[in-house]
């Protein structure tokens, strides 16, 4: 829609102007640092940082109605930088000028209601937000859009010519980091640290394809994270893990979009979020609290944090008696491999936000559930059998929904919104291994025959077969087609035409 076609009351605000006063707040010592450079930890005490806007209060000078209609109208504005997560520019990273915003098609992913057949099987109507439809096929693109837009701003304003962006990853962060870095041309190069053998072939192909330098390290994600933290402490690099608070800002858009999808009414909604390094759930809680503070939403939804029982530090923390103490866990192999993290870097941020959340909604507003490996993969395959392609982390959410329904955590009037954080194809190796029943030993998973599927070979006896070397002659070809069609029809139980009604 062209600018002059928007209502006059909204027109002046549609094209966001740089504003706000962003700064880094230390969770440890409370110091505030200017956001004129990239920081990951507090220069005074090495504490974790949050990015906040000192002028945030001014957002409340406008009514909730104003923001709601601005964001709704802005969806119709054809202006590239505001097409993705920066649709919510004022609430996200208002200091970044539009000219520096990097947009590769991320965000605005669909929230789809589960087909009736799946809802019946699970025992409730629910929705899934399909985050696998982002450019690098996971939600990480939201955070990278913000982090790399900020880096782009620094490159332009500080004439930086050779930035080395680094991250540790279970796969998806590296895919997104490499892709978004590559979009900035020669100014930014990327290097990623992956736990050898704990990233799928599809995920590994992503940073390689985008030209990153890929290091495979022994151990698990937590070991890679320690190495990358050391790199960012001692060398000039741009850390792109969610320890980088710009990432968190971008990922808040998930919360904003979910609110918008339900016309800003999140009462009776329950958001299920798989948790690994705890960056995503931190961002979602932070985004929801921002929208709540400025009256864009009036009710906060219930939140369910989901972990596999093989990588469950957040579950253990929230299910232990108060006063709670946090302890990292040693992870075991999990099919929800992208979230296989024993010591989430963002845990201190999460704990603080949950406290804030529970102060506003004292009763039953935040839960942590753990799910079994068998249920994770069965749910992923079941969803696929009923119209959804969800990743193994999406499978975790679906397994958790079943558990929550059984425990009465989700009531009949509530609707769950599951976060399928990545595309199923990234994890098709687990599907293949399940179909071959190869997950018994390492994952204690047994294939359920009704979920197994394999390609069928045709037994073409006494039949000429096409081969790469020699084309079939017309007579052979006719024979091949005839016999193949007969075999397929017999396997499928097809009735010949003219033999009665199609049933
Ligand atoms: N789902 C997927 C597909 C992920 O890739 C991750 C994390 C999570 C869920 C958990 O999100 O870490 O924000 O709590 N993957 C990271 C990575 C850590 O390196 O790609 P989180």
Determine the Cα–Cα distance for residues 262 and 253; give it in Å rounded to an integer.
14
3-state secondary structure of 244: coil
Contact 54, 132 (CB under 8 A): no
Determine the Cα–Cα distance for residues 14 and 77; give it in Å rounded to an integer.
8
Which ligand 1 atom sits closest to the C-alpha of 393?
1
Give residue 500's pLDDT band: very low, low, confident or very high (50, 70, 90).
Answer: low
pLDDT in tens, 176-185: 999 999 999 9
Give residue 499's pLDDT band: very low, low, confident or very high (50, 70, 90).
Answer: confident
pLDDT in tens, 154-166: 999 999 999 999 9
Tokens for 368, please give them: 């942590």
3-state helix, strand, coil in the chain (%, to 5): 45, 15, 40
Contact 296, 288 (CB under 8 A): no
Ligand 1 neighbourhood includes 421 CB (under 6 angstroms): yes
Q: What count of Cα atoms within 13 Å lies in the side-chain half-sphere of residue 289?
A: 21
Beta bridge partners of 369: 306
Over pLDDT 70: what percentage of the chain? 99
pLDDT in tens, 186-226: 999 999 999 999 999 999 999 999 999 999 999 999 999 99
In a mutational test of the pocket of ligand 1, which residue from 227, 250, 339 has the highest number of ligand atoms less than 8 Å from its CB?
A: 339
Q: Ligand 1 centroid to 339 CA: how many Å?
A: 5
Check for a shared fold between 111-135+252-451 and 139-248.
yes
Contact 401, 112 (CB under 8 A): no
Q: Is the pLDDT of residue 44 over 90?
A: yes
User: CB within 8 A of 180, min separation 6: which ones?
Assistant: 102, 104, 141, 144, 145, 147, 148
Q: Is the pLDDT of residue 387 over 70?
A: yes
Ligand 1 neighbourhood includes 278 CB (under 6 angstroms): yes
Contact 326, 306 (CB under 8 A): no
What per-residue confidence (pLDDT) applies to 467? 85
Residue range 59-76: mean pLDDT, rounded = 97
Contact 421, 139 (CB under 8 A): yes
Ligand 1 neighbourhood includes 343 CB (under 6 angstroms): no
In a mutational test of the pocket of ligand 1, which residue from 134, 172, 251, 305 has the highest number of ligand atoms less than 8 Å from its CB?
A: 172
CA torsion sign, 231 to 234 to 238 to 242? positive
Average pLDDT, the chain: 96
Beta bridge partners of 356: none
Q: Is the pLDDT of residue 502 over 80?
A: no
Tokens for 443, please give them: 């994952």
Residue range 4-8: mean pLDDT, rounded = 95
Ligand 1 neighbourhood includes 394 CB (under 6 angstroms): no
Separation in Å, CA 366 to CA 41, 82, 357: 27, 32, 8
Domain range annotation of the chain? 111-135+252-451, 139-248, 457-503
pLDDT in tens, 299-346: 999 999 999 999 999 999 999 999 999 999 999 999 999 999 999 999
What per-residue confidence (pLDDT) applies to 4? 94
Determine the Cα–Cα distance for residues 498 and 139; give it in Å rounded to an integer.
51
Correct CATH for 139-248 of 3.40.50.1100, 1.10.3720.10, 3.40.50.2300, 3.60.40.10 = 3.40.50.1100
Q: Ligand 1 centroid to 70 CA: how many Å?
A: 31
pLDDT in tens, 239-288: 999 999 999 999 999 999 999 999 999 999 999 999 999 999 999 999 99
Q: Where are the alpha helices (DSSP H) in 308-447?
A: 313-318, 347-360, 373-385, 392-407, 428-435, 440-443
Q: Ligand 1 centroid to 407 CA: how many Å?
A: 26
Ligand 1 neighbourhood includes 170 CB (under 6 angstroms): yes
Tokens for 178, please give them: 């490499």
Determine the Cα–Cα distance for residues 477 and 410; give it in Å rounded to an integer.
59
Ligand 1 neighbourhood includes 253 CB (under 6 angstroms): no
Q: Is the pLDDT of residue 468 over 80?
A: no
**DSSP of 351-374, one letter per residue?**
HHHHHHHHHHS-SS-EEEEEE-HH
Q: Which residue has the tokens 């030993």?
A: 441
Determine the Cα–Cα distance for residues 86 and 400; give it in Å rounded to an integer.
31
What per-residue confidence (pLDDT) applies to 498? 85
Q: What count of Cα atoms within 13 Å lies in the side-chain half-sphere of residue 141?
A: 26
Phi, psi of 214 (to 5 degrees): -110, 125
Domain 111-135+252-451: give its CATH code.
3.40.50.1100
Separation in Å, CA 284 to CA 109, 343, 481: 15, 19, 55
How far does CA 87 lie from the centroid of its chain?
18
Give residue 455's pLDDT band: very low, low, confident or very high (50, 70, 90).
Answer: very high
């Amino acid at each position: 829609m062209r600018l002059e076609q928007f209502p006059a009351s909204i027109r002046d605000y549609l094209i966001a102007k740089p504003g706000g006063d962003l700064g880094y707040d230390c969770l440890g010592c409370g110091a505030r640092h200017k956001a004129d450079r990239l920081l990951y930890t507090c220069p005074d005490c090495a504490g974790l940082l949050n990015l906040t806007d000192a002028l945030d209060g001014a957002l409340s000078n406008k009514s909730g109605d104003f923001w709601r209609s601005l964001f709704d109208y802005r969806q119709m504005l054809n202006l590239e930088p505001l097409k993705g997560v920066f649709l919510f520019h004022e609430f996200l990273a208002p200091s970044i000028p539009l000219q520096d915003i990097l947009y590769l098609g991320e965000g605005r992913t669909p929230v789809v209601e589960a087909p009736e057949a799946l809802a019946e099987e699970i025992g409730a109507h629910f929705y899934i937000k399909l985050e696998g439809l982002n450019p690098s096929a996971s939600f990480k693109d939201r955070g990278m859009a913000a982090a790399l837009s900020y880096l782009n701003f620094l490159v332009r304003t500080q004439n930086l010519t050779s930035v080395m962006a680094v991250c540790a990853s279970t796969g998806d962060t590296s895919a997104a980091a490499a892709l978004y870095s590559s979009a900035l041309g020669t100014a930014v190069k990327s290097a990623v640290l992956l736990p050898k053998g704990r990233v799928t072939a599809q995920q590994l192909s992503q940073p390689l394809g985008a030209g990153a330098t890929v290091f495979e390290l022994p151990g698990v994600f937590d070991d890679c994270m320690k190495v990358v933290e050391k790199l960012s402490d001692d060398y000039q690099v741009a850390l792109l893990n969610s320890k980088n608070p710009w990432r968190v800002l971008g990922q808040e858009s998930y919360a904003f979009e979910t609110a918008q999808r339900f016309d800003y009414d999140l009462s009776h909604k329950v958001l299920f979020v798989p948790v690994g390094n705890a960056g995503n759930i931190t961002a979602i809680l932070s985004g929801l609290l921002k929208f709540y503070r400025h009256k864009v939403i009036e009710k906060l939804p219930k939140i369910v944090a989901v972990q596999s029982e093989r990588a469950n530090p957040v579950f253990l923390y929230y299910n232990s008696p108060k006063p709670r103490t946090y302890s990292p866990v040693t992870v075991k192999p999990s099919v929800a491999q992208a979230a296989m993290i024993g010591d989430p870097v963002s845990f201190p941020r999460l704990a603080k936000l949950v406290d804030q959340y529970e102060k506003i909604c004292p009763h039953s507003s935040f839960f942590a559930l753990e799910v079994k490996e068998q249920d994770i993969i069965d749910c992923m395959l079941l969803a696929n059998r009923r119209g959804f392609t969800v990743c193994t982390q999406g499978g975790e959410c679906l397994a958790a929904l079943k558990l929550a329904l059984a425990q009465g955590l989700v009531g009949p009037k509530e609707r769950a919104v599951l976060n399928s954080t990545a595309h199923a194809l990234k994890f098709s190796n687990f599907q293949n291994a399940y179909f071959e029943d190869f997950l018994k030993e390492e994952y204690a998973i047994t294939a359920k025959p009704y979920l197994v599927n394999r390609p069928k070979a045709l037994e073409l006896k006494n039949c000429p077969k096409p081969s790469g070397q020699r084309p079939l002659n017309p007579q052979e070809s006719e024979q091949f087609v005839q016999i193949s069609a007969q075999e397929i029809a017999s396997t499928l139980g097809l009735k010949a035409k003219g033999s009665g009604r199609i049933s």
